[in-house]
Chains A and B, each alone.
Chain A
Amino acid sequence: MALNGLDKLGEWNPQLFRELRGRLKPRNLLTAGCISLLGQLLLLVFFYSYLPHNLTNHANHPYCTGNHKGMVGTNQCLRDAAGNLILDWQRWWLEPFVCLSFIGIFALLVIGTYMLITDLAQEERCGTLNLIRLSPQSTASILVGKLLGVPVLLYLIAVLAVPLHLWAGLSAQVPLGLILNFYTVLIASCIFFYSAALLYSLTSSWLCGFQALLGSGTVFIFLRLGSSFLLRLFGGDSAGPTSWLGLFSPATAAIPFLKQSSPGFWILFLGFDGVDLGALQWFYLPLGTGLASVSFVILNYSFWTYWIWQALKRCFRNPNATALSKRQSYTLVACFQLMILGFACQKFSGNADGLRVTDWPSNHYYELLILNLLLFSGLIAALSPHRQALQDWARYRRIRVSSSKSFWNRPLVKDLLWGERSLALVAIALNLAITAAILVPWVLLWPAEANKGQALLGLVLSMNLILIYAAIAQLMLLMRTAKRVLWASGTVGIAILLPLFLSVPFIASGSIPGLWLFTAIPYLDRLSATKVFWGVLGQWSLVGLFSLQLTRQLRQAGASSTKKALLASR
């Protein structure tokens, strides 16, 4: 019966069939079942041990039902007529429920991504991925098979924990709707993170054995620290563009449970935070806490998952292709800017006297610059072709001759704007222009008291630097070394982070304010207009220099081998 079902599944998706065939073996099934059930038992025993068992030891306890007494969160313990302690079981059940929720999030996302990255990397190493690539199956069919099949034992462990999780939630009087919301968000986050893991695995084979650890480690750090750290660092308690990052953490959907929960030990232990959706607005529209907010989270996941799949489709069939086409990047950047700008538009509701300086939209300006730096770092990686593609382009682009005299129809212009193998620099510049077209009107709409001029200058400086990073990356990717990706990411990483790390200590003293001119998040308060002007001029000169160098190298690469041999023989 089960075999028949598997067989039918195999007709629908052969890849899923292969993954299930390889994994659903009696020994594996037994191990997964034992891990899940034993884990649940241990969890219950652990929380059971926290219950007060007699009045001698526990006069006050968080799970007692009497009046609040003693330490914060503890109540006086009372007995019923039979002499048994009256316990707040609703509150007790909340603890294993929330704990299971978080274990679920971490296990599914961290271990799941690790399994997927390892599996795909191994297939790539063994050469079997090439055979699958050449089959008539669609990319989506193969990768969906991987996505559903590779972590199947993990799914089994999670599914076996659902009854207890549901039981605990309902016993804790958590509305069924909230629990279902949580499951929906968790599933959406799994699809998003797993798709990202597949893309990462396909594009980072140069990391070799380090690949899986780095990938799942990043997910862990993002879930554990990332969202809350960024929120606290840049957003304080108020909502802003960086709150958007928090939408990627499924803990967001667990926030209502956190609010209901006692200040249990595990929150302190996990140090976990998420975005309070109730306080968030998007273009001044409150997201709320109900179905609308969950729908927004799901929409956000779906939107970015869609883009990841666009990249997956390109990279899976042709591992040497850039992750995104230039055409796709323009749409992506426009959507991204609108998305984060929406979070910069938060309506202040606290002080009736009016807008305080700290509530100005300009308060979110630096958050936007940081997010844009993150976006463009990714975009540089996704759009910059490597040495081979550039050489092919430089050598063979002359074959395509156009009779058109119009500037936009010239093959070179078309290639630079839309081409697959051409330099990414012009496309990055166009993407920066799209960003400016969206952000500049926003800055101009700031209150009159805000320093708009400084913000606009900051934007120019930041964009110039991003263009310089793109040029550096492209130059590094043209190098004649196997480790060119490592060189490119290392150099750009240093170029981004070093001035930032050097600048921060000097903020207070203001001794070297000029350092900010070298960061993509320029803090221009202590810089004179002349210095900024020279800074901009310097950046433009650098862009020009790098462009010249790139052109020179491409000319060299584009020259035929015969010509080179002739020149050498002279």
Chain B
Amino acid sequence: MAKELAIYTSALTKQFDHHIAVHGVDLQVESGEVYGLIGPNGAGKTTLIRMLAAAEVPTAGDIYLNGEPLRHDRSSATLKRSLGYLPDDFPLYEDLSVWDYLDYFARLYQVHEPRRRQHLWEVLELVSLGNKRHSQIATLSRGMKQRLSLARTIIHQPILLLLDEPVSGLDPVARGEFREIIKTLQEAGMTILISSHVLSDLAELCTSIGIMELGYLVESAPLPELYCRLGHQHISMSVLHSPEHLEAALCQHPLVEALQVLPDQSVQVQFSGNAQDRAALLRSLVEAGIPLAEFHCTQEDLETIFLKLGHQQAS
């Protein structure tokens, strides 16, 4: 049976004056997925997320979250409780302590005692801010503030998380910590939609990727499918003797798109198959008696795919 859709949008459009920020987006995110939204600045990611969070009224189109229609000002309290939204500017009450801030939002989201206290501790532990609970927010570092904002987003245990650029401006260590938190949340069963410019992070975290360009969702697919379909694999091989036999064998293989013999006698192959195809290629070469000394595969990363695809589709 197909998984239930956590997010479903149909022809979702947002127009600001003459600028169409989001153009007829049909988005489908399955429950339990970590969906990464990528695109250049001004592609419409933030506007799309804001509409999903009911912070922006769509000009046209429909949004369904967990099967329930989202109406900007008339959504049910249950639907609002199932949503966690972290905006890119992560607003905070600087005058409050960490504990009071989270306690306030837990109350806003109707988390009652004795569950509330327990949740607060759990969330503070998760974002590693337990020892800072009495500190005033104004005194925290940027990384801590961002983690606190994430804690605020999950304090009511939403089933759908919308994270808009959650790691922007963080150093690599803080980003790593953030990644770990998101992995934990995914393991807890939350559906997460995350937008970011740090594509390596998304490649590590996401199960599916959506690419936005000029307001259009130009691509949306599970990450492995995206790699398979759009990302080239490069296999570098070297043999003990001259590479003529290898070259001849590779030329006949249907999944080899291009090959190049490098000055050091190694061969660079652009390959379009999947892991099984790769294994079959290796087996066939060995069976053909080619004395392989090296067989190493590299995959085009998300950034390359994005750079190729985003501009191509939009233009």
Chain A positions near chain B (C-beta within 8 angstroms): 10-11, 14-15, 17-18, 21-22, 126-128, 130-137, 314, 317-318, 320-321, 387-388, 391-392, 395-396, 399, 480, 561, 564
User: Which residues of B sit under 8 angstroms from A11, Cβ to Cβ?
Assistant: 107, 112-113
Q: Nearest chain B CB to A138's CB is how many angstroms away? A: 8
Q: Report B72 CB to chain A, min CB distance, Å.
A: 6
Query: Which residues does chain A contribute within 8 Å of B55, judged by CB atoms?
Result: 130, 133-134
Contact of A561 with B80 in the complex, beta carbons under 8 Å: no
Given contacts A130-B87, A317-B72, contact A135 B96 (CB under 8 A): no
Those 8 A-B pairs whose CB atoms lie nearest each other, nearest first? A127-B91, A14-B107, A136-B77, A317-B73, A136-B80, A135-B108, A128-B91, A18-B104
When A11-B112, A134-B80 are in contact, do A318 and B57 touch as well, CB less than 8 Å? Answer: yes
- Chain A residue, CB-CB nearest to B89: A127
- Bound-state CA distance A399–B96 (Å) is 48
Stretch from B15-23, B30-38, B252-260, B301-309 at the A interface: B15-23
Q: Does B121 contact A (CB under 8 A)?
A: no
Residue contact B107 to A128, C-beta cutoff 8 Å: no
A133, A388, A396, A561: which contacts B60 (Cβ < 8 A)? A396
Q: A314 to B109: give the CA distance in the assembly, Å.
A: 21
Question: Which of A136, A388, A399 interacts with B109 by CB under 8 Å?
Answer: A136
In the complex, which residues of chain B have a beta carbon less than 8 angstroms from the beta carbon of A133? 55
Give the A-B pair count, Cβ closer than 8 A. Answer: 82
Task: Check B93 for interface membership: any CB of A closer than 8 A.
Answer: yes
| In the bound complex, CA of A399 to CA of B109 (Å) | 37
> Inside 8 A of B80's CB, which chain A residues have their CB?
134-136
Whether B59 sits at the interface, judged by CB under 8 Å, is yes
Given known A134-B55, A136-B77, A396-B60, contact A128–B93 (CB-CB < 8 A) = yes
* Known contacts A21-B96, A388-B17, A480-B17, A320 near B57 by CB under 8 Å: yes
Do B73 and A392 touch (CB < 8 A)?
A: no
Residues in chain B near residue A321, CB distance under 8 A: 73
Return B67 CB to nearest CB of chain A, in Å.
18
With a cutoff of 8 Å between Cβ atoms, the chain B residues found around residue A127 in the complex are 87, 89, 91
Does B100 interact with chain A (Cβ within 8 Å)?
A: yes
Among A22, A387, A392, A395, contact of B95 (Cβ-Cβ < 8 Å): A22
Q: Please count how many residues in chain B sit with their CB below 8 Å of the partner chain's CB atoms.
A: 37
User: Which residue in chain A gives the minimum CB-CB distance to B13?
Assistant: A396
Interface flag for B92 (CB, 8 Å):
yes
Contact: A396 with B59, CB < 8 Å? yes
User: In the complex where A21-B100, A130-B55 touch, is A395 in contact with B15 (Cβ < 8 A)?
Assistant: yes
B54 an interface residue at 8 Å Cβ cutoff? yes
Does B81 count as interface, using CB distance less than 8 angstroms?
yes
Decide: B16 and A388 in contact? CB cutoff 8 A.
yes
Q: Provide a sorted-by-A list of 19 A–B residue pairs whose CB atoms are within 8 angstroms.
A: A10-B107, A11-B112, A14-B107, A14-B108, A18-B104, A21-B104, A126-B92, A130-B87, A130-B91, A131-B87, A135-B105, A318-B72, A321-B73, A387-B17, A388-B17, A392-B59, A395-B15, A561-B20, A564-B18
Q: In whole angstroms, how far apart are the Cα atoms of A126 and B55 in the complex? A: 15
Name A's interface SS.
helix
Q: Which chain A positions have C-beta within 8 A of B87?
A: 127, 130-131
A535 smallest CB distance to B (angstroms): 38
User: Closest chain A residue to B73 by CB distance?
Assistant: A317
Contacts of B77 in A (CB 8 A): 136
- 8 additional A-B pairs beyond A126-B92, A321-B73, A388-B16, beta carbons within 8 Å, are A11-B113, A14-B107, A17-B104, A127-B87, A134-B55, A136-B80, A136-B108, A480-B17
Interface string of B82-96 (1 = CB under 8 A from A): 010101010111011
Q: Assuming A14-B104, A128-B93, A480-B17, is B59 touching A134 (CB within 8 A)?
A: no
Give the complex CA separation of A392 and B105 in angstroms.
Answer: 34
- B246: CB under 8 A from chain A? no
Q: A22-B96, A317-B72 are in contact. Are A131 and B104 (CB under 8 A)?
A: no
CA distance A480 to B18 in the complex (A): 10
Assess the A134–B107 pair: CB atoms within 8 A.
no
Given contacts A14-B108, A134-B85, contact A128 B92 (CB under 8 A): yes
Q: Is B110 in contact with chain A by the CB < 8 A criterion?
A: yes
Complex contact B110–A136 (CB within 8 A): yes
Which residues from A are CB-within-8-Å of B150?
none
Q: B53 interface residue, CB < 8 Å from A?
A: yes
Q: If A317-B72, A399-B60 touch, does A132 touch B108 (CB 8 Å cutoff)?
A: yes
- Assembled-state Cα–Cα distance A135/B78 (Å): 10
A138 closest partner in B (C-beta):
B77
Interface positions, chain B 156-176, Cβ under 8 Å from A, are: none
Contacting pair B108 A137 (CB below 8 A)? yes
A21 CA to B16 CA in the complex, in Å? 39
Q: Min CB distance, A101 to chain B, in Å?
A: 34
**Nearest CB to that of B95 among chain A residues?**
A22
List chain B residues, Cβ under 8 A from A480: 17
Q: Which B98-132 residues have C-beta < 8 A from chain A? A: 100, 103-105, 107-110, 112-113
The minimal Cβ–Cβ distance linking A132 to chain B, given in whole angstroms, is: 7
Residues of B within 8 A of A388 (CB): 16-17
Q: Give A139's nearest chain B residue, CB to CB.
A: B73
Q: How far in angstroms is the closest Cβ of chain A from B39?
A: 20
CB closest residue in chain A, given B59: A392
Closest partner residue, chain B, to A392 (CB atom): B59
**CA distance in complex: A130, B54 (Å):** 10
Q: Report Cα–Cα, A395/B20, bound state, in Å.
A: 12
Q: Which of B32-71 contact A (CB under 8 A)?
A: 53-55, 57, 59-60
**A residues less than 8 Å from B78 (CB atoms):** 136
Distance of A126 from chain B, by nearest CB (Å): 5
Q: How far is the CA of A136 from the CA of B155 in the complex (A)?
A: 14
A314 CA to B107 CA, complexed, in Å: 23
Chain A residues within an 8 Å CB radius of B16: 388
- Nearest Cβ on chain B to A412's Cβ, whole angstroms: 18
Taking the closest CB of chain B, its distance from the CB of A169, in whole angstroms, is: 39
- The distance from the CB of B28 to the nearest CB of chain A, in whole angstroms, is 22
Give Cα A137–Cα B77 distance, bound, in whole angstroms.
8
